[in-house]
């Protein structure tokens, strides 16, 4: 399953796909999501965009919403915000493939001919570049795990969405344990997304220096 997914991602991994996903992400960020959740009609903080919040802070924000805004916020997290994480998750995943994976190719010196051939077929780098690149990650599994880091962020985004939707819909009943759990999901989401972008940046910088 993992190999099939990686093969699909590698076929899609190019700058045109990444830019298209980025444009779609911005459309969701600037137009679709604000309109659906009515967040473009007020200046109240959005819990999804916080890195961390206490239950007290969460309910302080939720209480400032009108019943209509709370309903809209909850429904958005259970509908459109199910699609949105897939967009940025795929975008970061493809970005990692075209930057980090190419900057730190797997060593093929210790592979047998069949394994080497399979890797070269899947890799976007030519054989001589793979053979002569300076740095080598010790295991291909590490690279595969890195490619899937953004999807961890997507998973925690979904868990965050379900938690926040429940908090909005259950108000004025305060579910403090759920609020704590949800803020953990939020922090983990942003942490994994940040790691994904950081690794892509590291890979991009290394590629620039490799071409000099």
pLDDT of residue 144: 81
Percent residues over pLDDT 90 in the chain: 63
Question: Is residue 17 situated within a structural domain?
Answer: yes
pLDDT of residue 62: 95
pLDDT of residue 131: 47
Question: Is residue 80 situated within a structural domain?
Answer: yes
Query: Does residue 1 carry a pLDDT above 90?
Result: no
Question: Is residue 18 situated within a structural domain?
Answer: yes
pLDDT of residue 139: 56
pLDDT (tens digit per residue) in 13-48 = 999 999 999 999 999 999 998 888 776 667 788 899
Question: Is residue 47 situated within a structural domain?
Answer: no
Contact 20, 104 (CB under 8 A): no
pLDDT of residue 40: 62
pLDDT of residue 107: 58
pLDDT of residue 105: 80
What range defines the domain where residue 24 resides? 2-33+53-210
Question: Is residue 38 situated within a structural domain?
Answer: no
Number of domains the chain is built from: 1
Query: Does residue 143 carry a pLDDT above 50?
Result: yes
Average pLDDT (38-66) is: 88
pLDDT of residue 3: 77
Question: Is residue 128 situated within a structural domain?
Answer: yes
pLDDT (tens digit per residue) in 84-142 = 999 999 999 999 999 998 888 865 444 445 445 555 455 444 545 544 444 444 456 78
Question: Is residue 168 situated within a structural domain?
Answer: yes
Q: What are phi and psi of 33, to 5 degrees?
A: -65, -50
Contact 105, 123 (CB under 8 A): yes
Question: Is residue 196 situated within a structural domain?
Answer: yes
pLDDT (tens digit per residue) in 164-210 = 999 999 999 999 999 999 999 999 999 999 999 999 999 999 998 88
């Amino acid at each position: 399953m993992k190999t099939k997914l990686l093969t699909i991602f590698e076929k899609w991994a190019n700058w045109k796909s990444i830019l298209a996903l980025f444009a779609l992400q911005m459309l969701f960020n600037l137009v679709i999501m604000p309109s659906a959740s009515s967040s473009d009609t007020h200046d109240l903080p959005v819990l999804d965009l916080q890195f961390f919040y206490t239950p007290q802070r969460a309910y302080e924000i939720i209480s400032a919403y009108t019943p209509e805004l709370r309903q809209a916020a909850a429904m958005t997290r259970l509908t459109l915000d199910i699609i949105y994480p897939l967009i940025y998750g795929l975008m970061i995943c493809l970005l990692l493939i075209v930057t980090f994976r190419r900057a730190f190719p797997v060593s093929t010196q210790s592979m047998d001919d069949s394994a080497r051939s399979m890797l070269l077929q899947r890799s976007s780098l030519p054989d001589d570049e793979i053979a002569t690149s300076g740095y080598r990650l010790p295991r291909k599994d590490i690279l595969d795990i890195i490619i899937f880091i953004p999807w961890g962020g997507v998973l925690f985004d979904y868990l965050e969405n379900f938690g926040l939707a429940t908090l909005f819909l259950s108000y004025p009943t305060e579910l403090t344990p759920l609020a704590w759990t949800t803020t953990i999901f939020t922090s983990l989401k942003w942490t994994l997304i940040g790691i994904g972008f950081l690794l892509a940046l590291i890979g991009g910088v290394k590629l620039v220096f490799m071409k000099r």
